[in-house]
Amino acid sequence: MKEMSVVKKSIITAVCLALCVVLPQAFHAVPNAGSVYLPMHIPILLCGLICGWQYGLLAGIAGPALSTLFTGMPPVAVLPAMLVECAVYGLMSGLMMKLIRTRKTYLDLYISLIVAMLAGRIVAGIARALIFARGSTTIATWTTGYFVTSLPGIIIQLVLLPSIVFALMNAGLIPRRYPKSAGLRL
């Protein structure tokens, strides 16, 4: 399988958006789901990693919005900051995958993910302080818990996302990043 078509990337993005709404609901069965696993971030990061920064960006903006619209979570008050954070996730994961080529897929994934997740949190933090300063104290008191459990979340995503990517590659649903070609080693 070569590069994915625009149609395929678009539909993958659509599916990731749907999962932004569906996944948090599925995690209801898991205790502490919301703050630890951050289920909504998974499809967004994945979209950026697989389809590129434009699609990742769209996923990051539309994902949380759809989730709030259809399930009420994340709550509207938190949505603006969440939009910024997720937009950066989608954008950066896509950008980094474009820029980093270590010849080892899992390394590319780890680096892109770490950069994206840190960048997202930093930018969102700045945005909260400057733009969403109104009521930032209340959001801050709520997100204190969020940041404390943030590190485990990052580690979990680092384990989950590459596993998902490799499963998809093994199933032939997305192209391999470095095709195992028998001949030329470019």
Partner 1 sequence: MHRLPTGMYLPGDSVIHRLDSRIKLLALFIVVVSILFINSLIGYEIMVVFMAVAVFLSGISLKVALNSVRKLSWFFLLIFLMNTLFYSTENAWFSFWKVTPSPAGLMQGLEVVLRVALALIASNIMTSTTAPMEITNAIESLISPLKLIGIPTGQIAMILSIAIQFIPTLSEETDTIRKAQMARGARFDSTKMTEKAEAVMPLVVPIFLAAFKRADELSIAMEARGYRGASGRTRKKFDPLKYQDMSALAVVIAICAVLLIIRLKT
Partner 2 sequence: MPIEINHVSYTYFPGTVFEAAALRDVSLRIEDGEYIGIMGQTGCGKSTLIQLMVGLMVPSEGKIIVDGKDINERGYQREELRKKAGIVFQYPEVQLFETTVEKDVAFGLKHSGLSKTEIAENVRWAIETVGLDFEKICAESPFSLSGGEKRRVAIAGILAAKPKFLILDEPIAGLDPKGRKDFLKLSGDLNADGVTIIMVSHNADALAEYAQRVIILDDGRLIMDAPVKEAFRDVELLRDKGIGIGQAREIAHLLTACGYPVPEDTVRYKELLPFLIGIGKGGD
Nearer CB in complex with partner 1: 25/125:
25
147-186: contacts with partner 1 (CB under 8 A): 152, 155-156, 159-160, 163-164, 167-168, 171, 173-174
Residue from 2, 137, 180, 186 binding partner 1 (CB under 8 A) = 137
3-state SS record for the chain: CCCCCHHHHHHHHHHHHHHHHHHHHHHHHCCCHHHHHCCCHHHHHHHHHHHCHHHHHHHHHHHHHHHHHHHCCCCCCCHHHHHHHHHHHHHHHHHHHHHCCCCCHHHHHHHHHHHHHHHHHHHHHHHHHHHHHCCHHHHHHHHHHHHHCHHHHHHHHHHHHHHHHHHHHHCCCCCCCCCCCCCCCC
Residue from 2, 141, 180, 182 binding partner 1 (CB under 8 A) = 141
Instruction: Give contact residues for partner 1 (rule: CB under 8 A).
Output: 5-8, 10-15, 17-19, 21-23, 25-27, 29-31, 36-37, 42-43, 46, 58, 62, 66, 68-73, 75-77, 134-135, 137-138, 141-142, 152, 155-156, 159-160, 163-164, 167-168, 171, 173-174
